[in-house]
C-alpha cells in the first residue's frame, strides 16, 4: 500500500499527477522554450513546460508574484519568475511588491527578509529545507557575546543570516554594498558577520578595521586558486568573474569580484568572448540562455539548498499555500531596522 503523506512530511515531493504536455501548453510556453533550448534538453523541457503553464495559472488565481534568486535553475529563472535578482535586488523588490502572495524561490533567509520588509504579505518558500551554511554558522546569542566583548563597536551583518541575528545587528549588507555599508557608519572599526571571506574581501577595499566571524559558504569555499590557474592555462583569453564569498587567493586570481547581479551585469554589458563564473552552477546556464555570443567555461559548484526549489515544489506551494514564513513581530521590527538602514545605502561597488 502506498504510504500516506502530508505536504509537511514531504516538502519537496511532486504532486501525485504531474500536469500534461498538451498542444495548448506547448503553444503557451513556446517563447520560453526558444530561449532555453540551448541550455535544457528537449526531453527535460517536456516535463517542465506543463508545470510552468500550471504555475502561471495559479499565480493569477492567487494574485502571487514569484521572486527568484540568480542561482535558481533556468526553468525557474526564465520560466516562472516575475522578478529575478541578487539578495539586494530581491529585498528591494520585496518592499514594493503589491501582489497578495510572494513566493520566494531562493533560500530561507531571503524569504525571511521579504517577510520582515513586507509583513502584511503572505510569503511562501516552496521547501523549508532551503537553508544556507552562512546563516547556520551564527546565532543571536553569538552576536550578543561579541557585542559584550567589543562594546560600542557596530555590528554589520551579511543578509545571509537569520532574523534573530539581524535583530542583534546595527545594519545589514549584501555582497553588492558591503564596502559602502561599512564606510557609511563613519567609524574606524566594525564587527562584520558571519562570512570570513567576505570580511577579508571588504578589508582589502577599506581602511576600516574589520573584526570577523568564521562562517563560510560551503559552495564558494570549495574553489581553489590552482583551479583558476588551470582554466587560464587551458583558455588564455578567459575572463574570470568571482563571488566575494570565495577564499582570498581565489579572488586574487579573478578579473572581477562582485555580487551575482554584478557578475551578470559584467557579462551582459561587456559580452566577453569567453568567461568562467566562479560561483553557483545555474548562473552560467541562466546567462547562456540570453547571451548566445558568450562562451561559458562551465566548472562550478552546486548549492544544494538553492536546488531544493523545483517547479513541482513551486506548484505545490501555490496549491497548498505552504510553507508560510513567519517572524515574531518584536524580532521582525528590530531586524527590519538593520535591513532598512542597508536599503538606504543602496547598491554599491560590488554590482
Query: Which residue ranges make up the site for ligand 13P (CB under 6 A)?
Result: 70, 86-87, 160, 174-175, 217, 243, 245, 259-260
Counting contacts by CB under 6 A, is residue 134 touching ligand SF4? yes
The smaller minimum CB distance to ligand SF4, of residues 49 and 130, is found at 130
Choose which of 113, 122, 133, 157 interacts with ligand SF4 (CB under 6 A).
Answer: 133
Residue 202 binds which entry of ligand 13P, ligand SF4, none, CB below 5-8 Å type-dependent: none
Place of cell 535591513: 339
Question: In whole angstroms, how close is the CB of 86 to ligand 13P at the nearest point?
Answer: 3
Site string for ligand SF4, 229-268 (x = CB under 6 A): ----------------x-----------------------
Residue 174 binds which entry of ligand SF4, ligand 13P, none, CB below 5-8 Å type-dependent: ligand 13P
How far is Cα 246 from Cα 219, in angstroms, rounded to an integer? Answer: 9
Site string for ligand SF4, 281-310 (x = CB under 6 A): ----------------------x-xx----
Q: Are 32 and 52 in contact (CB under 8 A)?
A: yes
User: What are the distances in angstroms from CA 235 to CA 257, 274, 287, 299, 300?
Assistant: 19, 8, 20, 13, 16
Question: In whole angstroms, how close is the CB of 253 to ligand 13P at the nearest point?
Answer: 19
How far is Cα 222 from Cα 11, in angstroms, rounded to an integer? Answer: 28
Site string for ligand SF4, 105-124 (x = CB under 6 A): --x-----------------
Choose which of 125, 193, 219, 311 interacts with ligand SF4 (CB under 6 A).
Answer: 219
The smaller minimum CB distance to ligand 13P, of residues 29 and 161, is found at 161
Residue 113 binds which entry of ligand 13P, ligand SF4, none, CB below 5-8 Å type-dependent: none
DSSP state of 291: -
How many residues make up the chain in this entry? 351
Copy the grid coordinates of residue 303: 548549492
Ranges within 49-108 binding ligand SF4 (CB under 6 A): 107
Classify 321 in phi/psi space as left (phi over 0), alpha (psi -120 to 50) or beta: left
How far is Cα 232 from Cα 135, in angstroms, rounded to an integer? Answer: 33
Closest CA to 109 of 161, 58, 73: 161
Strand arrangement, sheet containing 295-297: 256-257, 239-242, 274-278, 295-297
Ranges within 142-171 binding ligand SF4 (CB under 6 A): 160
Residue 216 binds which entry of ligand 13P, ligand SF4, none, CB below 5-8 Å type-dependent: none
The smaller minimum CB distance to ligand SF4, of residues 29 and 113, is found at 113
Question: In whole angstroms, how close is the CB of 135 to ligand SF4 at the nearest point?
Answer: 7
How far is Cα 328 from Cα 62, in angstroms, rounded to an integer? Answer: 25
The smaller minimum CB distance to ligand 13P, of residues 166 and 243, is found at 243
What are the two backbone dihedrals, phi and then psi, of residue 4, each rounded to the nearest 5 degrees? -90, 130
Per residue in 26-60, is it b (16+ CB within 10 Å) or e — as a string? eebbeebbeebeebbeeeebebbbbbbbbbeebbe
The smaller minimum CB distance to ligand SF4, of residues 305 and 341, is found at 305
Residues that bind ligand SF4 (CB under 6 A): 107, 132-134, 160, 217-219, 245, 280, 303, 305-306
Amino acid at each position: 500500500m502506498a504510504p500516506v503523506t502530508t505536504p509537511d512530511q514531504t516538502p519537496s515531493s511532486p504532486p501525485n499527477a504531474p500536469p500534461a504536455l498538451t498542444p495548448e501548453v506547448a503553444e503557451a510556453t513556446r517563447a520560453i522554450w526558444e530561449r532555453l533550448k540551448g541550455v535544457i534538453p528537449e526531453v527535460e523541457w517536456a516535463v517542465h513546460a506543463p508545470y510552468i503553464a500550471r504555475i502561471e495559472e495559479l499565480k493569477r488565481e492567487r494574485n502571487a508574484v514569484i521572486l527568484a534568486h540568480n542561482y535558481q535553475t533556468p526553468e525557474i529563472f526564465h520560466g516562472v519568475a516575475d522578478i529575478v535578482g541578487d539578495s539586494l535586488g530581491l529585498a528591494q523588490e520585496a518592499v514594493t511588491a503589491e501582489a497578495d502572495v510572494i513566493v520566494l524561490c531562493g533560500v530561507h533567509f531571503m524569504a525571511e527578509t521579504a517577510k520582515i520588509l513586507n509583513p502584511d504579505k503572505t510569503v511562501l518558500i516552496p521547501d523549508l529545507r532551503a537553508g544556507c551554511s552562512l546563516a547556520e554558522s551564527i546565532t543571536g546569542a553569538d552576536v550578543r557575546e561579541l557585542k559584550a566583548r567589543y562594546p560600542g563597536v557596530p555590528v554589520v551583518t551579511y543578509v545571509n543570516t537569520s532574523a534573530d541575528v539581524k535583530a542583534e545587528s546595527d545594519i545589514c549588507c549584501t555582497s553588492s554594498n558591503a564596502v559602502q555599508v561599512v564606510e557609511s557608519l563613519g567609524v574606524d572599526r566594525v564587527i562584520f558577520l558571519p562570512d570570513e571571506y567576505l570580511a577579508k574581501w571588504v578589508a582589502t577595499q577599506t581602511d576600516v578595521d574589520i573584526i570577523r566571524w568564521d562562517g563560510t559558504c560551503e559552495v564558494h569555499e570549495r574553489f581553489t586558486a590552482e583551479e583558476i590557474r588551470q582554466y587560464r592555462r587551458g583558455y588564455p583569453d578567459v575572463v574570470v568573474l568571482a563571488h566575494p564569498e570565495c577564499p582570498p587567493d581565489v579572488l586574487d586570481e579573478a578579473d572581477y569580484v562582485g555580487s551575482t547581479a554584478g557578475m551578470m551585469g559584467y557579462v551582459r554589458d561587456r559580452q566577453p568572448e569567453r568567461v568562467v563564473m566562479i560561483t553557483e552552477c545555474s548562473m552560467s546556464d541562466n546567462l547562456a540562455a540570453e547571451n548566445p555570443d558568450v562562451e561559458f567555461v562551465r566548472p562550478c559548484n552546486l548549492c544544494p539548498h538553492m536546488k531544493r526549489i523545483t517547479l513541482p515544489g513551486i506548484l505545490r506551494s501555490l496549491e497548498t499555500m505552504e510553507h508560510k514564513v513567519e517572524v515574531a513581530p518584536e524580532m521582525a521590527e528590530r531586524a527590519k531596522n538593520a535591513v532598512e538602514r542597508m536599503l538606504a545605502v543602496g547598491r554599491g561597488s560590488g554590482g
